[in-house]
Chains A and B, each alone.
Chain A
Amino acid sequence: MNFELTKEQEMTRKMVRDFAVETIQPRAIDIDKNGEFPEDIFKEMGKLGLLGIPFPEEYGGAGGDTVTYALAAEEIGRVCGSTGLSYAAAVSLGASPLYYFGTEEQKQEYLVPLAKGEALGSFGLTEPNAGSDAGGTKTTAKLEGDHYVINGEKCWITNAEYARSITVTAVSGKREDGKNIISAFIIPQDTPGMSIKSDYDKMGVRGSNTSEIVLEDVKVPKENILGDPEGGFKQFLHTLDGGRISIASLAVGIAQASLDRALEYAKERKQFGQAISNFQAIQFKLADMAMEVELARNMVLKAAWLKDQGKPFTKESAYAKLFASETAFRSANQAIQIHGGYGYMREYEVERYLRDAKLLEIGEGTSEIQRLVIARQLGC
């Protein structure tokens, strides 16, 4: 057993923390309030190599591991949930499937610019009538000559408006037993027939770009099918297993920020002639928050470590995502409580933490779905 981070992991964490505190933090309130996607911040993150942490150098990445990536996602999440979500989605959903399943040509053409941080990627799975039940995908892809023609609709797709390419899932045929075959297709931005709108008025992660995609007779070359034509369903299950780790890291970041703010405030705020941190009712809240943050972080890092070791991590990443996202929500809620009336005000930021944290209990598999995943792993 060794809980020590490597020098590279430590250095990355410090660098991302400095960058996040100096560059993102001062804008976090405005990013949320105005719902503005911080495109320039992503350019800078790209230059620092943050968008390519877990990909090898030969594909434009930094050759880092999942633990390093998780540490980076936590630090960004600690200052801004919106930036954190778009970051996690760009790496885990936009770029990762291309890396795991893409052909060499697809990696060169589509992964390299993402890993180098020159562009963002996006992953479109969810549809208006297929959320948790992603197998119920209605979007279709028909092979006509050397092109696939794709029709359908995707909703709540992170970064789609700013993406260089979007990987979408679609039904491409039927198996012998009558079940749908789901495949994934790479659609470059600006492909005729694909329209993207970002009109959602969201509760939280308001600065993260979330889009609706309508696909009308979208033609992509046959070669744009991602990896194994029949393996689309397995592919996105694997993609989501990895994505959970980054969502969980982001959750740890928000939980840590909630604790930091609440602790600082409790020591300063005086009522009944003393700091409210002297009251046991407040102390117990802070103690619970600190404990849960640490437990969540340990679980996230363990899941990341398992992934790096090439060991199974499906169950552990579900534990991490479930526990960390619920911890983030509880911690943010307690942070507001400890702030009293001030906590209800935007300026104090803790109310934003709560709104942002809520998404983490829904996106990339709801808490219920995490419990389903865990139960299946238990053999139920």
Chain B
Amino acid sequence: MNIFVLLKRTFDTEEKIVIKNGQIEDDGAEYIINPYDEYAVEEAINLRDEHGGEVTVVTVGEEDSEKQLRTALAMGADKSVLINTEDDLEEGDQYTTVKILEAFFADKEADIILAGNVAIDEASGQVGPRLAERLDIPCITTITDIKVDGENVNIERDVEGDVEKIETSLPLLVTCQQGLNEPRYPSLPGIMKAKKKPLEELELDDLDLEEDDVEQKSRTTEIFLPPEKEAGKVLEGESDEQVKELVSLLKTEAKVL
């Protein structure tokens, strides 16, 4: 099987994020593989181990994304591609990314492309479905189970907590949801082997794209942090009194009832 994974380097949203001059501060932020993409890497490796073939991990990013690609290689992916836009693009949006990936996949004959359900930084969840649309292949989002048998694919997907079962066929794009698998840690031998695995670097030029071709369709007008959480309130007294007080507060103060 010719298996591809779309992977994004994101900052760790569990760490403290600092915004300065309307931009997220780079220094001090911890960068990781987008957690949903880790499910995709894990599933890709499992599919390859079961059905044979090759796993290629692709990212659209900057020089620094190499670390995340190497980690995916250390987990067990076979090859990686960094489409480096550092010198060509100041900004980009989902349109940009999809346009670039579309060009990349033009000659690839992918059997399956696995992406994360969303990237935790911007959380748009658009890149997977939009790419599938451009490549004219089926797209199943938020999958929690996948079985491939020849061309046939059986999928379970998460629909707001319920399970939907779907039959489809290759070639296919899926986006991965929590619950699909438990991503492995890259092992020490894996880390050492990753050193020798191929990491191809491409620029827009190599994909016959001009900057204008990928110009973003949307504009970010403002970035801000959610309001600080205010101190909580501890209720006192017997439990039935507390319940009464809680209900009245939910009505009068929080106005959710």
Contacts and interface: CB of A to CB of B under 8 A. Distances in A.
Interface stretch (B106-114, B156-164, B181-189, B248-256): B181-189
A18 interface: yes
Contacts of A19: 185
Given A62-B192, A63-B192, A64-B192, A11 B74 contact: yes
Interface in A62-93: 62-64
Contacts of B74: 11, 15
Interface stretch (A24-32, A50-58, A207-215, A323-331): A50-58
Contacts of A12: 188, 191
A10 interface: yes
Contacts of B66: 7
Given A8-B192, A8-B195, A15-B191, A48 B185 contact: yes
Nearest to A6: B195
B82 to A, nearest CB: 14
Given A7-B67, A7-B70, A15 B186 contact: yes
B71 interface: yes
Main SS class of interface, B: helix
A184 B251 CA distance: 78
Contacts of B188: 12, 48-50, 52-53, 62, 64
Contacts of B70: 7, 11
Please classify how large the interface on chain B is, using the bins under 10, 10 to 19, 20 to 34, 35 or more.
Answer: 10 to 19
Contacts, number: 46
Nearest to B32: A14
A49 B67 CA distance: 20
A104 to B, nearest CB: 22
A302 to B, nearest CB: 23
A47 interface: yes
Interface in A139-186: none
A62 B192 CA distance: 7
B195 A49 contact: no
A63 B188 CA distance: 9
Interface string B62-77: 0000110011001000
Interface residues of A, number: 19
Contacts of B195: 7-8
Contacts of B187: 15, 47-49
A10 B190 CA distance: 14
A48 B195 CA distance: 17
Interface in B108-125: none
Nearest to B30: A14
A18 B189 CA distance: 17
A157 to B, nearest CB: 26
Contacts of B190: 49
A48 B187 CA distance: 4
Contacts of A63: 192
A49 B189 contact: yes
Contacts of B194: 8, 11
Contacts of A50: 188
A50 B187 CA distance: 8
B170 to A, nearest CB: 32
Contact of B191 (A11, A47, A57): A11
A11 B186 contact: yes
B185 A18 contact: yes
Interface in A1-53: 7-8, 10-12, 14-15, 18-19, 47-50, 52-53
Contacts of A14: 71
Nearest to A49: B188
B2 to A, nearest CB: 27
Contacts of B67: 7, 10-11
Contact of A62 (B71, B185, B189): B189
A7 B190 CA distance: 13
A88 to B, nearest CB: 16
A63 B185 CA distance: 18
A19 B186 CA distance: 10
A62 B195 CA distance: 12
A11 B67 CA distance: 8
B38 to A, nearest CB: 11
A220 B238 CA distance: 73
Nearest to A12: B191
21 contacts: A8-B195, A10-B67, A11-B67, A11-B71, A11-B186, A11-B191, A11-B194, A12-B188, A14-B71, A15-B186, A15-B187, A18-B185, A19-B185, A48-B187, A49-B190, A50-B188, A52-B188, A53-B188, A62-B191, A63-B192, A64-B188
Interface of B: 66-67, 70-71, 74, 185-192, 194-195
Given A47-B187, A57-B192, A62-B188, 11 more contacts: A8-B191, A8-B194, A11-B67, A11-B70, A11-B74, A11-B186, A15-B186, A48-B185, A49-B190, A62-B192, A63-B192
